[in-house]
């Protein structure tokens, strides 16, 4: 399986991202060497696409498939794309507070610790729908690991489109998020411009 192994802080610096959007509380004191240079229109579009891919941990081929799917849906393609990315199971687990980072959320799903509507799902790219109930398995609820994670993530805000019950390690997707509900610093219109060339 292909994995992006670039150091997180280095990648954040090159994309001009705050590590907090990925769930990391570290800060980098270095500055980007290319910070003052003028970037072309294509460069800006490419950077926005790379930002979205990096934040959600998606590689090029699946990202392009998400774009094509968003293009076929009704409404604005960019907003549809962000909704699809946000409704991935690994992202929902991260948003619920059952993982410190999206990478950790992906691992939690991979290890079959998540139930969707009572069934085990181990596909991080599984797209949740409105009304889906996501919870930890009974075995996982007793693990010390999740107690530690919940302690760390207890201060994190759960988005309004997820109805969370962290005491029972359970959440319900009230509805799919609109663009206003997604706090990711990506200009999706530039991604649409890039792909529509």
Q: Which residue has the higher pLDDT, 7 or 30?
A: 7
pLDDT band at 18 (very low <50, low <70, confident <90, very high): confident
Residue percentage of the chain with pLDDT more than 90: 46
**CATH numeric code, 8-29+36-85+182-195:** 1.10.1050.10
* One fold for 8-29+36-85+182-195 and 88-176: no
β-pairing, 119-120 vs 133-136, is unpaired
The predicted pLDDT at position 82 comes to: 93
Averaged confidence pLDDT in the chain: 86
| DSSP calls for 95-158 | HHTSSSSHHHHHHHHHTT-EEETTEE---TTPBP-TT-EEEE-HHHHT-HHHHHHHHHHTTSPP
The predicted pLDDT at position 165 comes to: 86
The predicted pLDDT at position 35 comes to: 60
Mean pLDDT, residues 34-43 taken together: 78
Closest CA to 187 of 84, 59, 46: 46
The predicted pLDDT at position 32 comes to: 60
The predicted pLDDT at position 28 comes to: 63
The predicted pLDDT at position 2 comes to: 67
Residue percentage of the chain with pLDDT more than 70: 91
The predicted pLDDT at position 64 comes to: 94
Other CB atoms closer than 10 Å to residue 7's CB: what's the count?
9
Question: Which of the 8 DSSP states describes residue 73?
Answer: S
What is the per-residue pLDDT across 160-181, written as a single tens digit (0 to 9) for each?
899 988 888 899 999 998 888 8
Closest CA to 100 of 174, 171, 34, 24: 24
What is the per-residue pLDDT across 58-98, written as a single tens digit (0 to 9) for each?
999 999 999 999 999 999 999 999 999 999 999 999 988 88
CB neighbour list of residue 180: distance below 8 Å, 6 or more residues apart: none
Top CATH class, 88-176: alpha beta
95 contacts 117 by C-beta, under 8 angstroms? no
User: What's the CA gap between 64 and 69, in Å, rounded?
Assistant: 9
Per domain, the residue ranges of the chain are 8-29+36-85+182-195, 88-176
β-pairing, 133-136 vs 170-173, is antiparallel
Asked whether the predicted pLDDT for residue 31 surpasses 70, the reply is no
pLDDT band at 183 (very low <50, low <70, confident <90, very high): confident
């Amino acid at each position: 399986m292909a994995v992006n192994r670039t150091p997180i802080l280095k990648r954040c610096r090159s994309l001009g991202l705050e590590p907090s959007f990925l769930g990391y509380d570290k800060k980098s004191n270095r500055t980007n060497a290319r910070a003052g240079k003028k970037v072309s229109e294509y460069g800006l579009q490419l950077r926005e696409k790379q930002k979205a891919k990096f934040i959600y941990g998606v590689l090029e081929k699946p990202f392009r498939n998400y774009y094509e799917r968003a293009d076929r849906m009704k409404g604005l393609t960019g907003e549809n794309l962000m909704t699809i990315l946000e409704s991935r199971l690994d992202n929902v687990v991260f948003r619920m507070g059952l993982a410190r980072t999206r990478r950790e959320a992906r691992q939690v799903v991979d290890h079959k610790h998540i139930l969707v509507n009572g069934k085990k799902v181990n596909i991080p790219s599984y797209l949740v729908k409105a009304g889906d109930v996501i919870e930890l398995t009974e075995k996982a609820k007793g693990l010390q690991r999740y107690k530690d994670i919940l302690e760390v993530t207890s201060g994190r805000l759960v988005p309004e489109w997820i109805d969370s019950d962290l005491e029972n390690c359970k959440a319900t997707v009230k509805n799919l998020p609109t663009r206003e509900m997604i706090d990711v610093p990506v200009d999706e219109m530039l991604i649409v411009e890039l792909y529509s060339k």
